[in-house]
Amino acid sequence: MKYIDEFRDGTLAKKIASAIKNEVNPNRRYQLMEFCGGHTHAISRYGIPDLLPGNVRMIHGPGCPVCVLPVGRIENAIRLAQQPGVILCSYGDMLRVPTDHGMSLLKIKAQGADVRMVYSSTDAVRIAQENPQHQVVFFAIGFETTTPPTAIAIKQAQAMGLNNFTVFCNHVLTPPAISHILQSPEVRQLGWVPLDGFIGPAHVSTIIGSHPYDYFAEEFQKPVVIAGFEPLDVMQAILMLIQQINQGRADVENEFTRAVTREGNLKAQYLVAEVFELRRVFEWRGLGWVPYSALRIKAAFADFDAEKRFQIPALSIADHKACECGAILRGIKQPQDCKIFGTVCTPDNPVGSCMVSSEGACAAHYSYGRFRQTA
Amino acid sequence: MKYIDEFRDGTLAKKIASAIKNEVNPNRRYQLMEFCGGHTHAISRYGIPDLLPGNVRMIHGPGCPVCVLPVGRIENAIRLAQQPGVILCSYGDMLRVPTDHGMSLLKIKAQGADVRMVYSSTDAVRIAQENPQHQVVFFAIGFETTTPPTAIAIKQAQAMGLNNFTVFCNHVLTPPAISHILQSPEVRQLGWVPLDGFIGPAHVSTIIGSHPYDYFAEEFQKPVVIAGFEPLDVMQAILMLIQQINQGRADVENEFTRAVTREGNLKAQYLVAEVFELRRVFEWRGLGWVPYSALRIKAAFADFDAEKRFQIPALSIADHKACECGAILRGIKQPQDCKIFGTVCTPDNPVGSCMVSSEGACAAHYSYGRFRQTA
Amino acid sequence: MCLAIPACVEEIVSEDCAIVNLSGIRREVSLALMENVEIGDYVIVHVGFALQKIDPLEAQQTLAMFAKMQNEDDPFADN
Amino acid sequence: MCLAIPACVEEIVSEDCAIVNLSGIRREVSLALMENVEIGDYVIVHVGFALQKIDPLEAQQTLAMFAKMQNEDDPFADN
Amino acid sequence: MKSTGKSVIAGNAAYVRPIDFKKGRVEMGHGGGGRMTMQLIDTLFLTAFDNDILRQMNDQACFSVPAGRMVMSTDSHVVSPLFFPGGDIGSLSVNGTINDVAMSGARPHYLSASFILEEGFPLSDLKRIVESMAKAAHSAGVPIITGDTKVVEKGKGDGVFITTTGVGSVPDGIHISSELARPGDKILLSGTLGDHGIAILSLRENLTFHTSVQSDTAALHELVASMIQAVPAIHVLRDPTRGGLATALNEIARQSGVGIKLREDKLPIHEQVRAACEFLGFDPLYVANEGKLIAICEPELADKLLQTMRASPLGRDAAIIGEVIADPHCFVQMETIFGGQRVVDWLSGEQLPRIC
Amino acid sequence: MKSTGKSVIAGNAAYVRPIDFKKGRVEMGHGGGGRMTMQLIDTLFLTAFDNDILRQMNDQACFSVPAGRMVMSTDSHVVSPLFFPGGDIGSLSVNGTINDVAMSGARPHYLSASFILEEGFPLSDLKRIVESMAKAAHSAGVPIITGDTKVVEKGKGDGVFITTTGVGSVPDGIHISSELARPGDKILLSGTLGDHGIAILSLRENLTFHTSVQSDTAALHELVASMIQAVPAIHVLRDPTRGGLATALNEIARQSGVGIKLREDKLPIHEQVRAACEFLGFDPLYVANEGKLIAICEPELADKLLQTMRASPLGRDAAIIGEVIADPHCFVQMETIFGGQRVVDWLSGEQLPRIC
Ligand code: SF4
Ligand code: SF4
Ligand SMILES: [Mg+2]
Ligand SMILES: [Mg+2]
Ligand SMILES: [Mg+2]
Ligand SMILES: [Mg+2]
Ligand SMILES: [Mg+2]
Ligand SMILES: [Mg+2]
Ligand SMILES: [Mg+2]
Ligand SMILES: [Mg+2]
Ligand SMILES: [Mg+2]
Ligand SMILES: [Mg+2]
């Protein structure tokens, strides 16, 4: 697999690991956050922690759109799907995510709701075409990467004159979430930001480009390295971050130059700007309310907005009391610090956002790294 | 089972059999037609032929509404049921009846058509109520016995204001069919009517009473005995017919006095007259076109007439060339005289009307009496 | 043809509806085609409708007619 | 997050549609978010859409950077 | 092969939330093979069916057998409704296969059970069914030693289908087979006809009638054991299930190349079954039984066999219902209560309720 | 018990119109037990599966066994689509159960097959499936000796479900069970991972991708026979079917109370399977196989076993993929191609295609 296998070479990994080992200052800690679930996945999947010196710690960020979707929005989707005549379409990842009372799209499907897994936003448009007597709602989730395809679907439906297709929009934005973590009261309470640098998103950045990260580097004086999702990319980004930290720099660097430019994909950006606009504030599971962190459908496309057609109520459902996701996402705590980790909260029955998908910090630890704790 | 078991007493049967034996004139033949499938059933089911003298022969008449329904009407029903959105309801008996190309309601149900078996006409009305988005068609068949319940269903649907319920009316009448047999060219060609007497319908007569049979007795000088469907009723009717024949009488007698009066059920008759009117002519499978032998829905109830709503075409599909049903129904031939009896034409794959239900002459012989032929 | 069974009216549920009993099998039937049905009557039931009452006297007479034959006939004659 | 895979454009079906190939697995992808895609290009595919082309030169340079480390580092130092 | 005795999720499976057997429903994941499947097997199937062989938890069960003849029989159970007077699909699936094994004269030893569950099926119903199976297997003394669970999407199943397979061993000297009926043999029936079919039909939509008839579902292997002890030379045993007595006898006639003559007046039938058949236009000869058997033996042994059957509670109403005759056409005939004759033919398609 | 050799409708069944296997469809009557059922069994199942024991046509099959240990295994097959590259539900249902029997070291002797057909299912497809089963059973030398056919109403099934049950006997001295893995043992895999699962997925609606990967469905009993001949002391055999290698190893770890350490670089995986998994967000460790086996034995015997496996066409790509370790938590771990470690956990629910 070209452009994949070369970036998974175990021999090269050991070389970069040596370089990291040579580079680290044994007298300090390096707390590096990978924002994206994709990076978390690579780190867990390839056992990267075992290749890092003990004083380099990876903090798993909130970059999994399924994990951060607030329970109230899932509850909304469930109620939508339970309306007679509604076909609710969503990506496979969403189907299993439970609400606070253990419901999920998969469970209501088992009870008879018409919930369909799609692989692409345009599959949902096709389903609407094929089922003119049903209301087809596309439960759209995802970061900047996944938003342009939703825009395309809405424009397709408009072009076709479909009056039975709407989108329940839950697209969220990466940069405001990173800002929010850095500015959070918890972090401020500690008096220091426990994060020394960021690995920036890979595929999000193919769309938005590298320039939006300049702000963090400047404002918070934290280095950012945009990196691909292959494990060598991650290793290299870690090395580059440690180098910046050691040199006292706080620049935005791009390891993923093979796919990320400074400007990103302008065609996609225009499309998104045409169809969507910023929400003033949006709730993130684990982070709470984050200003200007999500998109909604513009008035010009209101006919395709499920929130308008179905008058979806705002539901805010509090996280579980014991859940430590907020602190974990900010690098203050680790999964095993949570009282219910691995007992009440497991991948089969996730309680908090970090356990929802295998890219969440708690789930990754449970599914891939748990043996380290017991060993 | 009161009023049932007493009329199935084997000991009494032997007594009546003796009486018949004593009564018959050994020098002549007695060819008696039971018009009704109910009588045919009793005769076959209880092995009555074994209790009769050799010169008393029972001719099985066309009195099974399923058997006599022309193939074109079944084809109509099949096409109706295959229309999207249509639910076709019918009695269990109808489901298996094949068309000339081997289709049946059961087979198209297997292919996905929504065909429902009902036990009562009012079940079809309930199904229409429960499925407002579907057109529910009740495929109504039957003689005078089954017609009043259809009238009730139409009046119920009218009272409820149902606009998705219609009846595909195929109700037929007994007396014109009997006349037709007696007047048929085949019979006239022979120069003699090969029928010496009739056993008159049991349950048809509970509705229409005994008086409609007076005509035959007078016009054709053939005795008629209205008899119940239990085997002792049949035995007794046979005895009564033989007595009339021997005495040269041609009266209408009533063996089924416990349920049949001269007038019949007037309430039911009024209902039928309110909802239905005579068709000028109607096709009977095995008999051909029989004048004034069937009912259609009156204009006042046109909203409930499937023939109107769905513009059902008249289809006349010829019987199989080899089929001898016409001659069998007139007493001229016997099932085993048909070249394809028991080989091409069997109860599993009926070709002619007499093989369609177990009450048909050929099916009764195949299913109940065949051993006599091979023994 | 016209499968119909005599059953005993056990309960009148409404003007047009009764419960009949046949040897322990109980079913709802419509009385829409009948008049003056009472509990204890036997009615002939077809496709869920009562068609006609059974006249117990007539039934008895018919059975008596069958029984009469026993006397007219030599029971050993046909064996 | 944002599962996306580089695959080679094998066939351009229409303005907005291409067939890509990843080690023998062939799929249709939408080109609606792309411009100037040509056969032989590698594109990053996400939910059935091509998001961005892979720059082969940049890829080569990144790999070269990894390889360089080999030289800087004593391969036996970390064992 | 010793059992480890483990029957709860141990080791690396860690904590999982207990299955909600009150309100929970079958999900696709219960058939996915992962932790959910394991949990369902552990907490439901293993717990209910518990025995040493099952606890091996391999994909196959291992047991010791003596040399000799074994039999194997399988049946899929698709009954609707799943719960009915006198039983449910669970007890039916156990008894049905035990009986098919026993009809060779074999002593049934073990059962396998394979479940096809429809997504959305209430776990409470599943639990009830599994416990009913466990009870039936336990009271029959025939353990369920291996099994399988699959889940199909909603709308692609019907709640639950259960396929059971049984193995058993035939005692030395016993040769029972449907091809061994010989002219002159007597035909015995262990009890009343049609109870199961009528109990099921009484619950069908549109046909609702009230009856106190219960399904006769029962395991007949003990009855069979007593019968072959008394009369080892039984020629044929067969349980007249789907298609009823008529079908079973036609099969026997065909296989043995003989005719059969029944006596209608000897047929044991519940009054309510007869009445229900009158209402529906059914012939009780074709209605299903689930706890009855047909036995065929030489005439000299028939009375002894009858007495043995009657001595058992499951053969209380046993009767000699007819005899085997020579007939190249292999007709099953019946002498009616009138003394007339009729054919009792193969069923055409399914029996459907008739109005005429 | 000798066979009468009859395989066409004889005797009183008389003439029936031949079944239309071109355009015909399954009807309820095919499951009614009457003449239609008999005709379907005669002209399709008996003809395709033809063997002496089946031809007994009793509700059970009788065969002779030597004294010893027998195994029994059952599986319901509900695969969708029914036909896929490399096989179909028919061959799958035969091979799958043969394999489960063989995983005890047993030689499979006989199969039963029970069909649940959906009303309206094309008889041409049924015929194709049955003939595929017959071919698979014949080439494996494991006859189908008894069966059952049920028909469910349209919308209450999914074309056809097939439950097969197999019996076999374990050679003396062979003791293979999933609880016998011991620390230090080597873990062998007979070939590439995930071929079956990916072949199936490639046909699923919405996921359509083109691949030349075929299902690996195959009967492994001959491979097993050669393996136990070479290394009678094999500890564990298991076929990693539903839930894939990860699930099978977790089960073994749990049952044996041990840990397992895999070497990612040793895992044989087809390039296209890897690529399809990348597209779908799947982990090939959890993808189903239908013609692969895991073997576990003492380290000293591993090379001999590997050579034996590689000598067989079905073990051509065999590899030693890891070893058993002591671990009270029964973790399955993997050393990645990076040299890092990860847990290979139980699957949560089903694997679903991911976008993130
Ligand atoms: S273990 Fe669960 S509840 Fe605890 S912090 Fe992690 S996700 Fe939140
Ligand atoms: S056997 Fe068939 S074709 Fe011949 S007369 Fe009878 S019904 Fe007609
Ligand atoms: Mg069986
Ligand atoms: Mg059975
Ligand atoms: Mg299994
Ligand atoms: Mg269903
Ligand atoms: Mg049986
Ligand atoms: Mg199995
Ligand atoms: Mg298996
Ligand atoms: Mg069976
Ligand atoms: Mg279906
Ligand atoms: Mg297995």
C-alpha–C-alpha distance, residues B97 and B68, integer Å: 11
Which chain A residue has the Cα nearest residue F271? A1
| Residue F206 pLDDT grade (very low, low, confident, very high; cuts 50, 70, 90) | confident
Judged by average pLDDT, the poorest of B283-287, B304-308, E124-128, F334-338 is B283-287
Q: Is residue E176 part of a domain?
A: no
Q: Is residue A358 part of a domain?
A: yes
Q: Which residues contact A118 (CB under 8 A, 6 or more apart)?
A: A89, A90, A91, A124, A127, A138, F206
- Whether the CA torsion A271, A275, A281, A287 is positive or negative: it is negative
DSSP strand pairing (A30-36 vs A197-200): parallel
> Mean pLDDT over residues B80-93, rounded?
94
* Residue F345 CA, ligand 5 centroid: distance in Å: 20
Q: DSSP class of residue F193? A: S
Q: Which residues contact A223 (CB under 8 A, 6 or more apart)?
A: A196, A197, A198, A217, A241, A244, A245, A249, A250, A251, A252, A253
If DSSP states are collapsed to H, E and C, what string results for B59-82?
Answer: EEEEECHHHHCCHHHHHHHHHHHH
pLDDT on residue D1: 52
Give the whole-number percent of chain E exceeding pLDDT 90. Answer: 87
Q: Which ligand is nearest to the CA of F102?
A: 12
Q: Which residues contact A96 (CB under 8 A, 6 or more apart)?
A: A104, A105, A106, E29, F348, F349, F352
Q: Is residue E175 part of a domain?
A: no
Q: Is residue F2 part of a domain?
A: no
Q: Is the pLDDT of residue F56 over 90?
A: no
Q: Which residues contact C56 (CB under 8 A, 6 or more apart)?
A: B258, C42
The distance of F249 to chain E (nearest Cα, Å) reads 11
Which chain D residue has the Cα nearest residue A152? D32
Q: Is residue F214 part of a domain?
A: yes
**Average pLDDT over chain D, rounded to whole?**
88
Judged by average pLDDT, the poorest of B87-101, B257-271, E120-134, E250-264 is B87-101
Judged by average pLDDT, the poorest of A4-8, A202-206, D6-10, E344-348 is E344-348
Nearest CA to A152 out of A138, A132, A164, A163 is that of A138
Is C47 within 8 Å of E355 (Cβ atoms)? Answer: yes
Q: Is the pLDDT of residue F1 over 50?
A: no
Is B200 within 8 Å of B227 (Cβ atoms)? Answer: yes
Examine the domain organization and report whether F161 and F249 are in the same domain: no
* Residue F116 CA, ligand 6 centroid: distance in Å: 14
**Average pLDDT over chain F, rounded to whole?**
93
> Mean pLDDT over residues C27-45, rounded?
97
Is F242 within 8 Å of E32 (Cβ atoms)? Answer: yes
CA angle at E328 for the pair E323 and E331, rounded to the nearest 5°: 50
pLDDT digits (tens, 9 = 90+) for F168-178: 999 999 999 99
Nearest CA to A310 out of A11, A9, A76 is that of A76
Q: Is residue A51 part of a domain?
A: yes
Examine the domain organization and report whether A54 and A182 are in the same domain: yes
pLDDT digits (tens, 9 = 90+) for A108-156: 999 999 999 999 999 999 999 999 989 999 999 999 999 999 999 999 9
Q: Is residue E281 part of a domain?
A: yes
* Residue F291, token pair as written in the block: 């013609």
pLDDT on residue E150: 97
| Residue A188 pLDDT grade (very low, low, confident, very high; cuts 50, 70, 90) | low
Q: Which atom of ligand 2 is nearest to the CA of B341?
A: 1
Q: Is residue E353 part of a domain?
A: no
pLDDT on residue A98: 87
| Residue D75 pLDDT grade (very low, low, confident, very high; cuts 50, 70, 90) | very low
pLDDT on residue D25: 96
C-alpha–C-alpha distance, residues F12 and E251, integer Å: 10
What is the distance, to the nearest Å, from the Cα of residue F38 to the centroid of all Cα atoms in its chain?
A: 29
CATH code of B191's domain: 3.40.50.11750
Boundaries of every domain in chain C = 5-73
Is C53 at the interface with chain E, CB within 8 A? Answer: no
| Residue E10 pLDDT grade (very low, low, confident, very high; cuts 50, 70, 90) | very low
CA B11 to each of CA A139, E338, F332: distance values in angstroms, whole numbers, following the listed order: 77, 7, 81
| Residue E2 pLDDT grade (very low, low, confident, very high; cuts 50, 70, 90) | very low
Is F215 within 8 Å of F203 (Cβ atoms)? Answer: no
C-alpha–C-alpha distance, residues C58 and B260, integer Å: 10
C-alpha–C-alpha distance, residues E128 and B305, integer Å: 48
| Residue B318 pLDDT grade (very low, low, confident, very high; cuts 50, 70, 90) | confident
A232 contacts on D by Cβ (under 8 Å): 66
Examine the domain organization and report whether A135 and A228 are in the same domain: no
| Burial of residue B79, with CB atoms counted within 10 A of its CB: 0-12 exposed, 13-18 middle, 19 or more buried | middle
Chain-chain contact of B143 with C32 (C-beta, under 8 angstroms): no
pLDDT on residue E148: 97
Q: Is the pLDDT of residue F3 over 50?
A: no
pLDDT on residue B273: 98
User: Which of B282, B309, B336 is where one domain is finished?
Assistant: B309
> Mean pLDDT over residues A155-164, rounded?
97
Phi, psi of E124 (to 5 degrees): -65, -40
Residue F105, sorted as left (phi over 0), alpha (psi -120 to 50) or beta, turns out to be: left
How many domains, in total, are found in chain A? 3
pLDDT digits (tens, 9 = 90+) for B345-368: 988 888 888 888 888 899 989 988
Examine the domain organization and report whether A166 and A26 are in the same domain: no
CA B100 to each of CA B80, B328, E78: distance values in angstroms, whole numbers, following the listed order: 17, 20, 33
How many domains, in total, are found in chain E? 2
Q: Is residue A148 part of a domain?
A: yes
Q: DSSP class of residue B341? A: B
CATH code of E100's domain: 3.30.1330.10
The helix/strand/coil state of B97 is coil
* Residue F54, token pair as written in the block: 């089946």
Q: Is the pLDDT of residue A19 over 90?
A: yes
Helix (H) or strand (E) holding F346: none
b/e map of B214-239 (b: 16 or more CB within 10 Å)?
eebbeebebbbbbbbbbbbbbbbbbb
pLDDT on residue B194: 81
CATH code of E234's domain: 3.90.650.10
Q: Is residue B39 part of a domain?
A: yes
Q: Is residue A211 part of a domain?
A: yes
> Mean pLDDT over residues B25-44, rounded?
94
Strands in A227-313 per DSSP E: 252-254, 276-278, 281-284, 288-291, 295-297
Place of tokens 């692609």: E156
Q: Which residues contact C22 (CB under 8 A, 6 or more apart)?
A: B1, C5, C6, C7, C8, E275, E278, E279
Give the whole-number percent of chain A exceeding pLDDT 90. Answer: 74
C-alpha–C-alpha distance, residues B196 and B251, integer Å: 12
Is F12 within 8 Å of F35 (Cβ atoms)? Answer: no
Is B109 at the interface with chain F, CB within 8 A? Answer: yes
* Residue B195, token pair as written in the block: 């029928």
Examine the domain organization and report whether B247 and B183 are in the same domain: yes
Q: Which residues contact F220 (CB under 8 A, 6 or more apart)?
A: F95, F98, F99, F102, F190, F239, F291, F292, F293, F314
Is C2 at the interface with chain E, CB within 8 A? Answer: yes
Q: Report the interhelical angle of B231-247 vs B10-23 (nearest 10°).
A: 10
pLDDT on residue E18: 87
Q: Is the pLDDT of residue B239 over 80?
A: yes
Q: Is the pLDDT of residue E11 over 60?
A: no
Give the whole-number percent of chain E exceeding pLDDT 70. Answer: 95
Examine the domain organization and report whether E197 and E91 are in the same domain: no
What is the distance, to the nearest Å, from the Cα of residue B345 to the centroid of all Cα atoms in its chain?
A: 20
Chain-chain contact of D22 with F279 (C-beta, under 8 angstroms): yes
Is A88 within 8 Å of A105 (Cβ atoms)? Answer: yes
C-alpha–C-alpha distance, residues D50 and D17, integer Å: 9
DSSP strand pairing (F341-343 vs F332-335): antiparallel
Q: Which atom of ligand 2 is nearest to the CA of B345?
A: 2
pLDDT on residue E279: 92
pLDDT on residue B96: 86
What is the distance, to the nearest Å, from the Cα of residue B225 to the centroid of all Cα atoms in its chain?
A: 17
Examine the domain organization and report whether A23 and A80 are in the same domain: no
Nearest CA to A201 out of A155, A256, A247 is that of A256
> Mean pLDDT over residues E54-62, rounded?
91
Domain region containing F313: 186-343
Is B229 within 8 Å of B36 (Cβ atoms)? Answer: yes
Transcribe F33-98 into DSSP letters.
Answer: SSHHHHHHIIIIIIHHH--TTGGG-SSSEEEEE-SEEEEEEEEEE--SSSEETTEEHHHHHHHHHH
Q: Is residue F211 part of a domain?
A: yes
* Residue A246, token pair as written in the block: 């050691």
Examine the domain organization and report whether A164 and A214 are in the same domain: no
pLDDT on residue C12: 97
Q: Is the pLDDT of residue F11 over 80?
A: no
Is A106 at the interface with chain F, CB within 8 A? Answer: yes
CA A247 to each of CA A18, A223, B252, D66, F197: distance values in angstroms, whole numbers, following the listed order: 19, 11, 121, 20, 50
Q: Is the pLDDT of residue F71 over 60?
A: yes
What is the distance, to the nearest Å, from the Cα of residue A6 to the centroid of all Cα atoms in its chain?
A: 26
Examine the domain organization and report whether E18 and E152 are in the same domain: yes
The distance of D20 to chain A (nearest Cα, Å) reads 13
C-alpha–C-alpha distance, residues A43 and E292, integer Å: 65
ipTM of the complex: 0.93
Examine the domain organization and report whether A246 and A335 are in the same domain: no
Examine the domain organization and report whether B85 and B164 are in the same domain: yes
Is E59 within 8 Å of F73 (Cβ atoms)? Answer: yes
Closest partner residue to D25 among F275, F354, F356, by Cβ? F275
C-alpha–C-alpha distance, residues A93 and A358, integer Å: 10
Q: Is the pLDDT of residue F12 over 50?
A: no
Examine the domain organization and report whether A237 and A182 are in the same domain: yes
| Residue E169 pLDDT grade (very low, low, confident, very high; cuts 50, 70, 90) | very high
pLDDT on residue E15: 56
pLDDT on residue A192: 66
E119 contacts on A by Cβ (under 8 Å): 109-110
Q: Which residues contact F197 (CB under 8 A, 6 or more apart)?
A: F244, F287, F288, F289
* Residue B260, token pair as written in the block: 């049949």
Q: Is the pLDDT of residue F13 over 70?
A: no
Nearest CA to B32 out of B62, B67, B65, B61 is that of B61
Examine the domain organization and report whether F155 and F208 are in the same domain: no
C-alpha–C-alpha distance, residues B327 and E19, integer Å: 70
Q: Is residue A249 part of a domain?
A: yes
pLDDT digits (tens, 9 = 90+) for F234-265: 999 999 999 999 999 999 999 999 999 999 99
Q: Is residue B260 part of a domain?
A: no
| Burial of residue F328, with CB atoms counted within 10 A of its CB: 0-12 exposed, 13-18 middle, 19 or more buried | exposed
Nearest CA to C69 out of E209, B12, F312, A369 is that of B12
Q: Is residue B278 part of a domain?
A: no
pLDDT on residue F14: 52
B225: β partners:
B199, B253
**Average pLDDT over chain E, rounded to whole?**
93
Transcribe B242-298 into DSSP letters.
Answer: HHHHHHT---EEES-TTT--SS--HHHHHHHHHHEEE-SEEEETTTEEEET-BEEE-
Examine the domain organization and report whether B76 and B14 are in the same domain: no
b/e map of E198-230 (b: 16 or more CB within 10 Å)?
bbbbbeeebbebebebbbbbbbbbbbbbbbbeb
Q: Is residue E233 part of a domain?
A: yes
Examine the domain organization and report whether F191 and F315 are in the same domain: yes
Chain-chain contact of E340 with B49 (C-beta, under 8 angstroms): yes
Give the whole-number percent of chain A exceeding pLDDT 70. Answer: 97
- Residue B367 amino acid letter: S
Examine the domain organization and report whether B162 and B100 are in the same domain: yes
CATH code for D5-73?
Answer: 2.30.30.140
C-alpha–C-alpha distance, residues D29 and D39, integer Å: 13
**Average pLDDT over chain B, rounded to whole?**
92
> Pocket residues for ligand 2 (CB within 6 Å)?
B 320, 322-325, 328, 335, 338, 340-341, 345, 351-352, 354-355, 362
Examine the domain organization and report whether F162 and F26 are in the same domain: yes
Domain region containing B249: 5-64+175-254
Examine the domain organization and report whether E21 and E166 are in the same domain: yes
